[in-house]
Amino acid sequence: MSAKPFMNSDVADADMKEMNMRPKLTATNAAVMIAFLIAGLVSGCVSWQADWDRSVSEVADTQTAPLLQKAGKLSLTAGNRPDLLATIAAYEAVLAVDASDFTALTNLGHLYILLGTAYTTERSEKIRHYQTARRHNERAMYTNVAFRTRMDDGQKPWEACGVLTRREVPAMFYWVTAVFYHFKEGMRLPEKVVNVKWMSWCGEFLQRIETIDPNWGGGGVQFSLAIYYGALPKSKGGDRQLSDSYLARSVEIGPDWLLNRWGRAKYFHVRDRNRSGFEKDLNWVIAQDIDRAGGVFAWKVFIQRDAREMLAAVDQYF
């Protein structure tokens, strides 16, 4: 798995930097970058449509258990693109047996995000990965009977999320992350302007998670809320002070998680022109034992790699 109104001309510069075109960053550009973190949609004006099979089949656990075990084992060493693709294929094999397997759906719901941001360069391909991640998470939520009833009655996911439970927190969180990443890496400025409503829909999920399981994900919930309140303009509920407060809490809740300090350096320290804080946080990230740090292995590999690359290019950020 962002500050200041994000509808301005500096978005183009931030997008260029994220696609490795590496322009010299300004404080304004850094603020814009925060608005589009992580954080799956489509190009142009986006409207949500359900695309899952409405029949939730009954499948014996014994049929999927060996497949889940294989996929879980692969996920423990998925530190590069081939291994990540193998892990994704293993979880997809579970869905071929049981299309509503919650574990497979939620794992695919974040592995496709990682595939898009860490191992994909083409914008159109990134979009497909973020869309796929979002849809897997929607299918995971759909396994909740109360949520399914509301969806079948015509509600949208963010309208129906009030009945979701702690079990569905990963699906909600990864849904938001897929949307954030699509905004950040998949949309050009006009598309971001048209589709800003998706940010408010993310807020519905984040507020639900904060209500039922705020400490899930080692501070990831608070980090996403920092992005959310920082990204929105004041007229839409944006709040810089609240954003900064959530950012601080994310590190307090997850002191051994890489995401929070990496994200603080990458987006907030750059925004604030805090070079020393940037270097301190990224050096901390790199120094951590990846096996002891909190989080999913494949994401930790990516975060440490990205931290090294940012430190090597520190003069381009300040």
pLDDT interval class at 51 (50, 70, 90)? low
79, pLDDT greater than 70: yes
7, pLDDT greater than 50: no
What would the pLDDT profile of 240-258 be if each residue is shown by its tens digit? 999 999 999 999 999 999 9
Q: Do residues 160 and 196 touch, judged by C-beta distance below 8 A?
A: no
SS3 294: strand
What would the pLDDT profile of 52-73 be if each residue is shown by its tens digit? 554 445 566 678 999 999 999 9
Q: Please state the rounded mean pLDDT for residues 128-157.
A: 96
Q: Which of 212, 225, 268 is nearest to 33 (CA)?
A: 268
Residue 183 exposed, middle or buried by CB count within 10 Å (0-12, 13-18, 19+)? buried
Cα separations in angstroms, 135 against 106, 142, 171, 258 = 10, 10, 10, 26
Query: What is the CB neighbour count within 10 angstroms for residue 313?
Result: 12
In degrees and rounded to multiples of 5, residue 238 shows phi and psi of -65, 145
- DSSP at 182: I
Q: Which residue has the tokens 């430190």?
A: 311
Rounded to two decimals, what is the model's pTM?
0.82
SS3 198: helix
Whole-number average pLDDT of the chain? 84
Q: Which amino acid is at 17?
A: K
d(CA 20, CA 312): 13
What would the pLDDT profile of 29-45 be if each residue is shown by its tens digit? 444 444 444 333 333 34
253, two tokens: 């809740």
315, pLDDT greater than 60: yes
**Per-residue pLDDT, 59:** 60
Q: Which of 33-37, 63-67, 129-133, 158-162 has the lowest mean pLDDT?
A: 33-37
131, pLDDT greater than 60: yes
| Cα 10 to chain centroid, rounded | 23
90, two tokens: 């293993």
**Per-residue pLDDT, 53:** 52
d(CA 279, CA 298): 23
Q: Say which residue, 8 or 312, is predicted with more confidence.
A: 312
129, pLDDT greater than 60: yes
d(CA 162, CA 112): 26
Cα separations in angstroms, 205 against 78, 95, 143, 183 = 28, 25, 17, 17
